[in-house]
Structure 1
Amino acid sequence: MKAYMVFDIGGTYIKYAVMNEQGMKLEGGKVPTPQEGLEIFLQKVSDIVTQYRQSYAFQGIALSSPGAVDVKSGYIGGASAIPYIHGVPMTDMIRERTGLDVSIENDANCAALAEGWLGAAKETDYYICIVIGTGIGGSIVVNHTILRGASLHGGEFGYMIMGDPLQKNPLQSTWSRVSSTYALVEGVEARKSLAKGTLNGEDVFRLAEGGDSIAKESIAHFYKKLAVGIYNLKYTLDPKKILIGGGISKRSEVIEGINQELKQLKDEISKLDITVEACQFDNDANLIGALFHFLTIKKPKSGFNLTRQDK
């Protein structure tokens, strides 16, 4: 049986899994992400591969990583909570340690690829994923391929300016700043005169369920601001499907609330019926998508078939 070692590199934990070619997790776990530096990180990854190599004949290693990932060179640009992974030939270094083929992809892109392979966009050849959390990011997927853009910023939806462009600093009203889960929480804290960090997203929804008027009004505004951005993306990109990811997407009322607001954004000119769906995968999305990326770019060696899971 062909097996693959897959890693999801996060700021707090490195998740790992042994997976087969159909995207099934055979074994797995997680370890704290080393804080000491690159050498300890590489040794940890190598040790995990060695541990499972006793039981599996690995065809390669697939990585999901934060940052502006260059999938061809294996370098990770940008910034993240793990400074030492940036600016080094990550895939080459892991390949040298293990002797295995290695691929790497951005974590948000991995989540989107997972949805197209086995999830909510399985039958769709053109879709976008919008990930809502501390900021707003996402991916554009065409024929199972990420649209990266000339500067690797394809899918960075959170940079859209949503406020008045004539205000003193329009960049203070980007979609991430005004419509993310963080913005929702921060707004409720400010209106209730609470210190920053007092609440989280779950707290805000719990307050609303208990009848808190500030929380209820803030959530209603949250849906409206998300709907406006989604409207813009639909008319700009016109994808077949729009998927919503991030922890907040697991609340069915969020998807319903956004769709209710989208229904209002119609007139005699803007007639499209725009709807969103929740992403199907959660904790394992990055692992599944990282494997899909590996199989896709290595398919001459692996014999991978995009439709194999349906047979």
Structure 2
Amino acid sequence: MNLMAIDIGGTTIKLAYWKNGQLTNEHAVDTPKDLESFYQVLTKEVNQAKTAINAKGVAISSPGAVDQKTGIIGGTSALPYIHNFKIQAELEKRFSLPVTLENDANCAALGELAAGSGQGCNSIAFFVIGTGIGGAMIMNQRIWHGAHLYGGEFGYMMIDNDQLSSLASPVASAKRYNERTVKNFTGKELFEAADQGDAIAEEERDKMLHSLAVAIFNIQHSFDPEKIVLGGGISNNPELLPLLNSVLAKIVKKVPAAIMPDLALCQLKSEANLRGAVANFEQQH
């Protein structure tokens, strides 16, 4: 089935056609500032897809806590105007097509399951490592939303009396480093400084890696997925997997009968949300 795929972001909205099992005509538009402009932009894009590929549905990746039973986007995001009303029904009325909605992290996980590092798996845990820590859990090739739509919200995990998002985010780690050194490093620069022997950078990087490794170990031994896939900007760093595996190996040695998690980096990068939105549509229809 040919589809219009949409990935709603706070700054840009990415769009693509799904035709013959491939994403084509990928492009982006600036995210509108208000709801009516949002409707106008998306309706124009969907109408073009109807003409160009005879699109039969619209697959959407969205920020926020998407409730697929009600078609309401709960929670908060950079786009307050999309929240807390039956937006799915409104979009279906405007597009005259079936619409599916799913959270963006969940879509990224579904994308990796369908065409990335999770191919062939029935279960994966997916980490989004960025400004905070987000994620998704997939069981039997389906998103596990949880009773309160908190499935995969790994950033809320408490480690050493602090939240994982505060401990394992490269942004938070760089902020701690900058407060200690009066510098203005990014997370990437923090890793580079640690490689060059900066003792404070090493300490902050090691704290980040240890916290993330503990969270991964705990998820492996509670959820027990076949793979744990790591996404976010830091997944482009070739050091990440070797460093994490080294820390994990030390933790595993301390626990009798523990297993070593199978880590992988995300493959789809910027296409993951669009591909996952399509996978979600195909699961529902």
After superposition, the CA RMSD in angstroms is 1.5
1:34-113 maps to which residues of 2 (within 5 A)? 34-35=32-33, 37-113=34-110
How far off is 1:210 after superposition? 4.2
> Measured at CA, do residues 75 and 203 of structure 1 come closer, stay the same or move farther in structure 2, by a change above 3 Å?
same
Aligned-partner Cα distance in 1 for 2:117–2:100 = 24
Aligned-partner Cα distance in 2 for 1:233–1:52 = 41
Aligned-partner Cα distance in 2 for 1:162–1:288 = 33
- Counterpart residue type for residue 26 of structure 1: T
* Corresponding residue for residue 25 of structure 1: 23
Provide the secondary structure at the position in 2 that maps to 1:139: strand
1:161-200 maps to which residues of 2 (within 5 A)? 161-163=158-160, 170=161, 173-194=162-183, 198-200=184-186
* Corresponding residue for residue 281 of structure 1: 268
How far off is 1:174 after superposition? 0.9
Q: For each residue in 1:178-200, what CA deviation from the matched residue of structure 2 results, as whole angstroms up to 9, or x when unmatched? A: 11122211111112124xxx332
Aligned-partner Cα distance in 2 for 1:229–1:98 = 42
* Residue of 190, 206, 212 corresponding to 1:226: 212
> Measured at CA, do residues 268 and 137 of structure 1 come closer, stay the same or move farther in structure 2, by a change above 3 Å?
closer
- Counterpart residue type for residue 244 of structure 1: L
How far off is 1:278 after superposition? 0.7
Q: For each residue in 1:149-200, what CA deviation from the matched residue of structure 2 results, as whole angstroms up to 9, or x when unmatched? A: 110101111111101xxxxxx4xx1111111122211111112124xxx332
Aligned-partner Cα distance in 2 for 1:206–1:238 = 33
Provide the TM-score with structure 1 as the length reference.
0.87
Aligned-partner Cα distance in 2 for 1:107–1:253 = 26
Instruction: Determine whether 1:259 maps to 2:245.
Output: yes
- Counterpart residue type for residue 35 of structure 2: L
Instruction: Determine whether 1:117 maps to 2:144.
Output: no
Provide the secondary structure at the position in 1 that maps to 2:14: strand
Instruction: Determine whether 1:212 maps to 2:209.
Output: no
> Measured at CA, do residues 10 and 297 of structure 1 come closer, stay the same or move farther in structure 2, by a change above 3 Å?
same
- Counterpart residue type for residue 199 of structure 1: F
Provide the secondary structure at the position in 2 that maps to 1:273: coil
- Counterpart residue type for residue 94 of structure 1: L
- Counterpart residue type for residue 34 of structure 1: P
Q: How many residues align?
A: 284
* Corresponding residue for residue 282 of structure 2: 295
- Counterpart residue type for residue 285 of structure 1: A
Aligned-partner Cα distance in 2 for 1:52–1:147 = 31
Provide the secondary structure at the position in 1 that maps to 2:71: coil
Provide the TM-score with structure 2 as the length reference.
0.95
Q: For each residue in 1:236-265, what CA deviation from the matched residue of structure 2 results, as whole angstroms up to 9, or x when unmatched? A: 111111111111012120111101100101
Provide the secondary structure at the position in 1 that maps to 2:26: strand
Is the CA contact (8 Å cut-off) linking 2:226 and 2:262 kept in structure 1? Answer: no
Is the CA contact (8 Å cut-off) linking 1:262 and 1:275 kept in structure 2? Answer: no
* Corresponding residue for residue 132 of structure 1: 129
* Corresponding residue for residue 308 of structure 1: none
Aligned-partner Cα distance in 1 for 2:86–2:258 = 48
Quote the sequence identity (%): 39
Aligned-partner Cα distance in 1 for 2:42–2:139 = 32
Structure 1: gaps (5+ residues): 164-169, 299-311
> Measured at CA, do residues 98 and 191 of structure 1 come closer, stay the same or move farther in structure 2, by a change above 3 Å?
same
Is the CA contact (8 Å cut-off) linking 1:259 and 1:275 kept in structure 2? Answer: no
Is the CA contact (8 Å cut-off) linking 2:50 and 2:56 kept in structure 1? Answer: no
How far off is 1:138 after superposition? 0.8
- Counterpart residue type for residue 67 of structure 1: G
- Counterpart residue type for residue 68 of structure 1: A
